Structure 1
Amino acid sequence: MARRVFLHVGTAKSGTSFLQDLWWRHSDELRGRGLLLPGRRRDHFAAAAVVKGMTAVVETLADHERDAWHRLVEETRAWPGDVLLTNEHFSDSPAEAAAAALADLAGAADEVHVVLTARDLGRVLPSAWQQRVKMGARQPYRRFLATVRRSEGDQKFWRYHDVPAILTLWSAGLAEGRTHLVVVPPAGAPRDELWLRTASVLGLDVTGLDTEARRPNDSLGLVEAEVLRRINERVPRPRRTPALTRHVKGTFVPEVLAGSAHREPFVLPARHHAWVHERSAATVAALSTRAYDVVGDLDDLLPAPPREGRTPDDATDDELLAAARTVASRLGLAPVGTLDEALAAVAEHLLAGQRGTSAQ
């Protein structure tokens, strides 16, 4: 029986990749310090997919991956110290699935804790749109922001980023003091501050552990992101497979697309600042009335003042053509004349090669 199990459920785009990279890089050392990350990193993703019922993903999993949640729970039960499970897909789980997962963990540890990391919406929105584009989305940035603002459609965005709702979901039945909200520090804070804040929640001594990034930064500039979105438009929806998405995220973006244009970051347009600030202020007000363990300042969930800059919608055809030609050249494709030709050639290359992709 574990002493404590910590379930880190998100939110997406709140430094989760940074934290997970460090946790897994130092997993052997952390085990020696009393914290177990059971299984492998892929197992935590598979477990989240199974728990929340991601049918399309679960259908692609190997048999042993479909058993990932059960295996992680059993490893937790067999460990005498503390355990950490982490994947942002847990956040978007049906209420009955969350309750069942917490019950499983309660049978494997003396204490069950839930950890949520959260970042201000002003920084989350551009990052979330870019992530969606890497997953195959076709929606322009301006339409994405309008849709989120009006709460249209299935609102996948809010299911992953409505902090009060996610905490309500995952704190049900937990003892007071066992639901932890770690606020991502504002821009300009020391890079390791989020790492130190989560370590304090875990009761973990991280002295001497390297926090330098080892994985390449696959964040795209506004031109590169818009090129990818337009490539997505040329991929027929029936041919957008999980294998293709893995290839795009894991290989095409970091090795081919990144660096094809100047990495110009894009901003939240000033016209959206008022509603983002209003929504964020309501979030802070709601959280301030609840008995969660908050690490950091809730006011850091308020967006910074708007800043000047462009968005992917402002990219010119000349900029897009230059980047698309660079991508085509890196792929060894024949020279192309127009932007449409370049985008179509790259899309066809990706489709032709997806059969050779494998699970990451």
Structure 2
Amino acid sequence: MARRVFLHCGTAKSGTTYLQDLWWRHRDALRERGLLLPGEALRDHFHAAALVKGMDVIVDDLDDDDREVWQRLVAEARDWPGDVLISHEHFSDSSAEAAAAALADLASAAEEVHLVLTVRDLGRVLPSAWQQRVKQGARQSYGKFLATVRRGEDEQKFWRYQDVPGILGRWAAGLPPERVHLVVVPPSGAPRDELWQRTARVLGVDVAGLDTDPRLPNDSLSVVEAELLRRVNRRIPRERRSVALTRLTKGAFARDLLAGSAPRESFVLPAKHAGWVRERAEEMVARLREGRYDVVGDLDDLLPAGPRAGRTPDQAGDDELLAVAATVVARMIEQER
């Protein structure tokens, strides 16, 4: 039986890709130091999260072997004498019933079950979340997305991945507060590996000497690039959207063709939305302080900073969009040579 099992269940857009890249890159070294990542690859943790939360669009495409991946992860944890880490942000979107069942499975495999959430301030999460949705085929403009999030409309699913007190209400029920760890994403300007170091302290694993440079490319899009992709999405009939098309858009198109086709510039929260975002962040921080959870970092860093210079995608001009489109087409032609 494992000594401790840590379930890192989000939040989305809080450095999860960076952390998962490092955890899996250093999997063998971490195992030697007492921390097991069960499964063969991050894909197994993604499929496990999809099974736990009932993500039909993914589960329906799994073969019989992959449908057993969650139970395999639990069994591997049960056979390991040290600590175990399972990580994927899709766990956060599980129902209270699904979360309780998953925690019961983990409790059967470890002496202690711990929950880990990495949390980032809403002022930085919102632009990143919109861009991620665009990569997945969304057509909604940045301004309309922010208005929808403000109204709390469920179809956006934004708050199901970012309402930290709500996530804790589903996942931390029954866990002692000292086993619920909130790792605050450092503010801009902090050392690049500070989030990595903070999570290592929670996991109690020695990461000295392990490389922390990102291996995966930074495929974040610029203001103009993101707006161009949104307009492309509008030209694709909804009935033709599929998991395969989304993977193509996020991968070969956005990463290999679109990214870097326009100058990078600050991607900002419009001033007219700053007030309600700040209010929501203050409310969240107040509720987290009441929870007596283990906090690594400063909860005040979850309060958005003041207005920053920059533009929004809605301000991208047609001439800029045309220039980026021409660059993308040229890159496509070059790839075919």
Relative to the length of structure 2, the TM-score reads: 0.97
Matches within 5 A, 1:153-232: 153-232=154-233
Write the deviation string for residues 202-236 of structure 1: whole angstroms up to 9, x where unpaired. 01111111101111110000000011101111111
In the alignment, structure 1 residue 126 sits paired with structure 2 residue 111: no
Distance 2:62 2:224 in 1: 34
Report if aligned partners of 2:265, 2:310 keep a CA contact under 8 Å in 1.
no
Q: Tell me how large the CA RMSD over aligned residues is.
A: 1.0
* Match of residue 111 from structure 1: 112
* Match of residue 21 from structure 1: 21
Q: Percent identity?
A: 71
Write the deviation string for residues 174-196 of structure 1: whole angstroms up to 9, x where unpaired. 12311110011111011111111
Write the deviation string for residues 283-327 of structure 1: whole angstroms up to 9, x where unpaired. 111111112111110100000001121110000000001111111
SS at match of 1:279: helix
Distance 2:154 2:5 in 1: 35
Report if aligned partners of 2:11, 2:117 keep a CA contact under 8 Å in 1.
yes
* Match of residue 3 from structure 2: 3
* Match of residue 277 from structure 2: 276
* Match of residue 152 from structure 1: 153
Distance 1:330 1:196 in 2: 38
Higher deviation after alignment, 21-30 or 169-178: 169-178
Counterpart of 2:13, as a letter, is K
* Match of residue 328 from structure 1: 329
Counterpart of 1:296, as a letter, is G
Cα distance, 1:56 vs structure 2: 1.0
Distance 1:130 1:45 in 2: 20
Distance 2:72 2:91 in 1: 17
Distance 1:42 1:30 in 2: 19
Report if aligned partners of 1:185, 1:300 keep a CA contact under 8 Å in 2.
yes
Write the deviation string for residues 78-134 of structure 1: whole angstroms up to 9, x where unpaired. 111000000000000011000000000000001000000000000000000000000
* Match of residue 248 from structure 1: 249
Structure 1 unaligned regions, length at least 5: 334-360
Distance 1:186 1:20 in 2: 20
* Match of residue 298 from structure 1: 299
Cα distance, 1:62 vs structure 2: 2.5
Higher deviation after alignment, 141-150 or 167-176: 167-176
Report if aligned partners of 1:223, 1:264 keep a CA contact under 8 Å in 2.
no
* Match of residue 91 from structure 1: 92
Counterpart of 2:37, as a letter, is L
Counterpart of 1:93, as a letter, is S
Write the deviation string for residues 239-292 of structure 1: whole angstroms up to 9, x where unpaired. 111011111112111111111211223100111111110000001111111121
Cα distance, 1:169 vs structure 2: 1.2
Counterpart of 1:49, as a letter, is A
Report if aligned partners of 2:4, 2:112 keep a CA contact under 8 Å in 1.
yes
Relative to the length of structure 1, the TM-score reads: 0.91
* Match of residue 240 from structure 2: 239
* Match of residue 141 from structure 1: 142
Write the deviation string for residues 45-99 of structure 1: whole angstroms up to 9, x where unpaired. 0000000000111112222222111110111111110000000000000110000
SS at match of 2:266: coil
Counterpart of 1:41, as a letter, is L
Report if aligned partners of 2:4, 2:113 keep a CA contact under 8 Å in 1.
yes
Report if aligned partners of 2:35, 2:84 keep a CA contact under 8 Å in 1.
yes
Report if aligned partners of 1:277, 1:303 keep a CA contact under 8 Å in 2.
yes
Counterpart of 1:3, as a letter, is R
Which stretches of structure 1, 4 residues or longer, exceed 3 Å deviation after superposition?
none
Cα distance, 1:155 vs structure 2: 4.0
